[in-house]
């Protein structure tokens, strides 16, 4: 095995030529507005509807709004790098495709495998979040589901989560344009619900609930092996006692609510289906991220102002609805539950969309079976990989709890952001001739800041999350060396060029 087989790159020009093959060609139906709505649609989800209350109760107190800001800044830095690469390499696959052109095949496979983790598990996590709000909405009615059939954390299986995953799978197979129209309607509903939370909640804010804004640090009570598994890795590395709240709790909270910002990178995966990707993709990425950051901070301030963080149940699957129930406005809580159920459906859909496009690009390159890259003759979508993804998401959502899923998604996404940030600088040096419709200002500085901030947030995730991540990546290397390396189209082309003509 030569090192060249691991570092061989796929040129940007070849990546673009591959998109023109009839059997692997996706339809270009999306514009800038579609991408902004896609981004807003996928980002507004668990962050507002679930993790606002949970992180306030367990890590940051009222300063959960600061946690959102920290995570938002890290995402903004990475978003700038994503925007440049996506406008330069307008091909399905997002960070996977970018890495193939800059780092080489092995790193591209690594990031592609990592994105499979991010999007598949993320989609399952949001399906689980949908189930939580649905249970709250149906509680006390004739349609109430037993906990044993509606929660992977407290029961045997989560039937609603599995059903919504399969429904979304069918919508995606029907076509990207239909998915976009469906998304626009649901995003309008979600934004209406968020506006109701902010406007109606302001009248119930009590200033005393903001004191102390950053609660004093407290020992977490974890120690030994259990402490390593549940505590931030940085605490173990520096020999610090596990603690909650305080400044460390706010930063640890940022590493958790980071899950709330996942989605803007999905916009990059749709570059190949965008009519003018050089202009529209940067608008979609940066525009959607700016909108949701403002909304996240506003909602977190309202919710922690309505209810003392000490009274919030950290295991509550529907904290926004519960906050309005606590102040005696149950009808608003019901409206929120309905909006959350509808809204989380779209998040599941777009994360699943991201996974299918990354796997589609990997299959087209031969790193996964090429049959998975076949598009539907009528709908123009990669229906085979969508079908496999939908079933996988349904099974994961049905049997794994939300907290485990969300932290695993975070570490995978942060790792992808680090590689993308470095990739911007490398591609500028290796291919300064490429046209760049969008350029990161002060690229080396922004790339370093993005990488450092993402690595620091990764270190604030638990040891248990790191172990799961390492195991998943190790499995990916096994798949690559047993299959991907020998079936790579780039590798086979290189071998053919080296073989003398008969």
- From CA 212, how far away is CA 475, in angstroms rounded? 45
DSSP state at residue 3: T
- Grade residue 19 by pLDDT with cuts at 50, 70 and 90: low
Whether the per-residue pLDDT at 2 is higher than 60: the answer is no
pLDDT score for 286: 81
pLDDT score for 474: 93
CB within 8 A of 4, min separation 6: which ones? none
* Nearest CA-CA partner of 118 in 355, 308, 309: 355
β-sheet bridge partners, residue 462:
232
Query: Residue 11 — left, alpha, or beta (φ > 0 → left; ψ -120 to 50 → alpha)?
Result: beta
pLDDT score for 394: 92
- From CA 350, how far away is CA 41, in angstroms rounded? 8
CB within 8 A of 316, min separation 6: which ones? 53, 54, 57, 322
Least confidently predicted of 12-26, 164-178, 191-205: 12-26
pLDDT average, residue stretch 165-194: 77
The full set of domains in the chain, from first to last, is 32-491 (1.20.1740.10)
- From CA 429, how far away is CA 445, in angstroms rounded? 15
Contact 113, 479 (CB under 8 A): yes
Which is more confident, 45 or 371? 371
- From CA 261, how far away is CA 277, in angstroms rounded? 22
- From CA 167, how far away is CA 87, in angstroms rounded? 32
Contact 53, 322 (CB under 8 A): yes
- Grade residue 1 by pLDDT with cuts at 50, 70 and 90: very low
Q: What's the distance, Cα to Cα, between the start and end of the chain in Å?
A: 25
pLDDT score for 502: 44
pLDDT average, residue stretch 390-402: 87
Residue 460, judged by CB atoms within 10 A of its CB (0-12, 13-18, 19+), counts as: buried
- Grade residue 344 by pLDDT with cuts at 50, 70 and 90: confident
Report the C-alpha dihedral over residues 102, 421, 362, 13, rounded to 10 degrees: -40
Report the C-alpha dihedral over residues 392, 289, 408, 395, rounded to 10 degrees: -20
Whether the per-residue pLDDT at 455 is higher than 80: the answer is yes
pLDDT score for 271: 63
DSSP state at residue 219: E
Whether the per-residue pLDDT at 449 is higher than 80: the answer is yes
CB within 8 A of 288, min separation 6: which ones? 35, 36, 37, 38, 39, 40, 43, 263, 264, 267
pLDDT score for 471: 92
For the whole model, what pTM was predicted? 0.77
Q: What is the largest CA-CA distance in the chain?
A: 84
101-142 pLDDT per residue, tens: 777 888 889 888 888 888 888 888 888 888 877 887 887 777
Which is more confident, 354 or 21? 354
């Amino acid at each position: 095995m030569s090192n060249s087989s691991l570092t061989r790159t796929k040129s940007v020009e070849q990546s673009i030529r591959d998109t023109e093959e009839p059997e692997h060609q996706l339809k270009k139906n999306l514009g800038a507005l579609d991408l902004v709505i896609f981004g807003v649609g996928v980002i507004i989800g668990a962050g507002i509807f679930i993790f606002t209350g949970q992180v306030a109760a367990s890590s940051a107190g009222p300063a959960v709004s600061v946690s959102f800001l920290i995570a938002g800044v890290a995402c903004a830095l990475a978003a700038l790098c994503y925007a440049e690469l996506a406008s330069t390499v307008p091909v399905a696959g997002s960070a996977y495709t970018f890495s193939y052109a800059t780092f080489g095949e092995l790193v591209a496979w690594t990031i592609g495998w990592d994105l499979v983790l991010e999007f598949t598990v993320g989609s399952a996590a949001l399906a689980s979040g949908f189930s939580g709000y649905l249970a709250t909405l149906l509680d006390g009615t004739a349609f109430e589901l037993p906990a044993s059939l509606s929660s992977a954390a407290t029961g045997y299986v989560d039937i609603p989560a599995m059903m919504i995953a399969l429904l979304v799978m069918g919508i995606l197979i029907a076509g990207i344009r239909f998915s976009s129209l469906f998304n626009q309607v649901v995003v309008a509903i979600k934004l209406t619900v968020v506006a109701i939370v902010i406007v109606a909640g302001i009248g119930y804010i009590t200033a005393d609930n903001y004191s102390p804004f950053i609660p004093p640090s407290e020992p977490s009570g974890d120690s030994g092996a259990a402490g390593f598994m549940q505590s931030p890795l940085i605490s173990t590395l520096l020999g610090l006692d596990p603690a909650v709240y305080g400044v460390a709790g706010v930063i640890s909270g940022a590493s958790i609510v980071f899950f709330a910002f996942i989605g803007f990178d999905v916009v990059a995966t749709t570059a190949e289906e965008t009519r003018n990707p050089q202009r529209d993709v940067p608008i979609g990425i940066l525009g959607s991220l700016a909108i949701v950051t403002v909304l996240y901070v506003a909602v977190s301030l309202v919710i922690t102002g309505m209810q003392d963080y000490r009274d919030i149940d950290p295991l509550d699957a529907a904290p926004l609805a519960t906050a309005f129930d606590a102040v005696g406005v149950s009808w608003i809580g019901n409206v929120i539950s309905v909006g959350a159920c509808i809204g989380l459906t779209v998040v599941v859909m777009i994360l699943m969309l991201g996974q299918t496009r990354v796997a589609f690009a990997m299959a087209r390159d031969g790193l996964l079976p090429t049959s998975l890259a076949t598009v539907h003759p009528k709908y123009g979508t990669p229906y085979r990989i969508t079908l496999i993804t939908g079933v996988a998401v349904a099974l994961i959502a049905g049997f794994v709890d939300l907290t485990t899923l969300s932290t695993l998604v975070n570490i995978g996404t942060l790792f992808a952001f680090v590689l993308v940030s470095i990739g911007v600088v490398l591609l500028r040096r290796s291919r300064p001739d490429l046209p760049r419709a969008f350029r990161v200002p002060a690229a080396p500085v922004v790339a370093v800041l993005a990488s450092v901030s993402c690595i620091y947030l990764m270190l604030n995730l638990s040891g248990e999350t790191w172990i799961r991540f390492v195991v998943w990546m190790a499995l990916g290397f096994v798949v690559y060396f047993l299959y991907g390396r020998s079936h790579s189209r780039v590798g086979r082309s290189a071998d053919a060029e080296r073989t003398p003509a008969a």
